[in-house]
Structure 1
Amino acid sequence: MAIDREKILTIAQRFILKGQSDRAIKEYQKLIEASPNDKRLHLKLGDLYLKNGDHEKAIKQYLQVADLFAQEDLNSQAISIYKKVLAIDPKMMDAHRQIARLYLKEGLIANARTHYQSILNMRPGDPEASRALEDLMDQSSTPREQNPLPLSPVPSRLSASISSPSSAESERQGRHTAPAELPTLTPDKEAETHYHLGIGYKQMELLDYAISEFEAAASDPTLRVDCFVMLGECFMQKGDYDRSIRFYEEALKDRGVSNGKRARVHVSLGEAYEAQGLLREALQAFEVGLSLDSSLQGVKERIEHLQGQVKAV
């Protein structure tokens, strides 16, 4: 029997907004029964369980997501979800084991060794971990280890200024309070991996997960502007226009941004201002964008429309 997915999602969201997580969980269970391999549904259900303090059920959902990623050879995504499990239960050996195996598939010997060693620390003499460490003992580091995947979740200093989601459904309605100032970031060797994970999560509309990855990736100065733009887009999609504006403005402070990219960011900034009801600021942003790149589609028409609105105010 076919189900009305959008209707059920809407019902679930209403329950979440009312603080009725248990009823929202039942709606997500209906969706998962109809689409058992939908990673987004499992992640959101896991987030709801986690919010309710039911760690065991949350972990079960996250493990299913990680397994689905691994089956598709999306190893970086799988590792990031297994690490979410370890953040809840650092002693879950199955998660350490799967991470180690995935690191081996990626040729990241040192990272795999670390997780196998964690297993032995918890279970001395574990057959798989013992054999793996013996096999890896004589292997030299490969060139790929010069840029390994993260050994543990990297806490971004941006996280301190962005509230953690109460549930993944807050992607639709969640609000964040803008910080007094953006913090200084420390370099993160795994920034590129975090950035691509962020892109993947953003494409899946898992905005809170994407935000966490872009925060971590922003530690790399070469990715900082792109991360701020992506964060601006994520918060725009969440309806948090204040935060969206803040990140677009930060991106524009970098003098190394090309005129083409700067023009596009000004247009995005204008859209955020307009959504916030700041019409004069939006008009100015669109005008700057068009002055930097006259080929931008639709911007001239938006300027003319806003000019009429501003005059009418």
Structure 2
Amino acid sequence: MIIRRIRELVQRKKSGSLKEEFLEQIKKNPQDTRSRLKLGDLHAKLGEIPEAVDQYATCAEIFAQAGFHLKSIALYRQVLKLDPNSAQALRRIGQLCLQYGLYADAYPYYESLAERLRPREGGERIFALFQEISNLPIRDLRYKALMFEALFPDPSGMFTEPTARLSEIARSMAQDDKLEGDALLLARWLVSVYQDSPEGYEILAGLLKKSGNRAQLAQTLTKLREIYASRGELEKKEKFLREFEPGEEEASPAPDVLGERAPQKTRARPGEVRVKMEADVYELLRKKTDGQKPKAEGRERATGGTVQPSGQVERIQFEDLFSSFKEGIREQVSRGDFETHYNLGIAYQEMGLYEDAIQEFELACGDPALAADARFLMGKCSAELEQWPEALGYYENALSLAGEDSEKRRGIRYEMALTLRALGRDEEALNTFRQIREESDNYRDTEKQIEEILKASNS
């Protein structure tokens, strides 16, 4: 006992001497990462967690400023091992993943950050917005990560609504023709969440004008006028509103929102109808879910004098509308317009029309650049239909097309593992989850999946 105590005292004396030595080196050169890391290791060994975290975090920032993002991420992960609740570490890893282009890797850290902040003032609002943004089918992972980042202006400070930051992201997306569909999704979400804020409506108006959807544009402009009037800004905004008035070339009647053919039958160029198509799908979805019951008289006419249950009539009406919509799409979109078929598949998928989505994704596979993503989404749709063997086949095909993109391959393998579990092939699923864990410690709920499989196998 006495000998052990003496050893502890000697060790503490040595540690104190080492601390002084490292601190002296750091004082001479604050950028001395070697001394900081050794000092951090020493603090961690002695159980001095806050001091260790401080040195690791400082060192991580030095590496980040020098452009060594992966080293910085590794150090912040070390911080999380010592302090799993560190909002600073979670935020910075998310930011660094975003800067380094590891957009999908950023997601679990932003998700954990939203969870950690829930008990704080405004935390529930952050978490709710995070969940909603997570569910938006935004294709571009970079902008999706930017949207998550926009929710956390200052993890240690007061929460502020991210309206302006998210609107700026939507404006940036709207300027890229390839991202107009994503921009439309974000703009529609913004106006649903911030109904009294003009930013989302302004962006939506620009996209609707560009797509030629005059009916919805008129509704959007009416709402904008109401908002401007309530703010006393209508007079100075009149010039802005007049920019959306149709010119002479737009004076002819626009096609019906459900895809009815225009008087002149001209096939659209590839990608030309993409944004309008997505707007039409959302209008169709609105008609499907608006909850208005048809009057009995109308039902009698529609069913030859027999009043059918309202749910059945609504289903029949929707199927008729949807059939007309698809006929209109076939008139406008060629089989070779792969990107439009891909976007249409995403819209169908969001509406729960998985079989139709699979058909569109199949057509999109004609473009090698879209094939891997399309096959992956076909797997997701099949999984929603609980067609597990088909889902697994699509995932395997997607994996073979994913190339060297490690993040994309990891995401596909994760879904494959879930599908293997659904098929009762737990051993294969376990091996896949373990491989994913070796590559990325905190990837989604991999650890939870492993624990569940092991628990089930031991019971």
TM-score, length-scaled by structure 2: 0.30
Which is richer in helix?
A: 2
Whose RCO is larger (CA < 8 A, sep 6+)?
Answer: 1
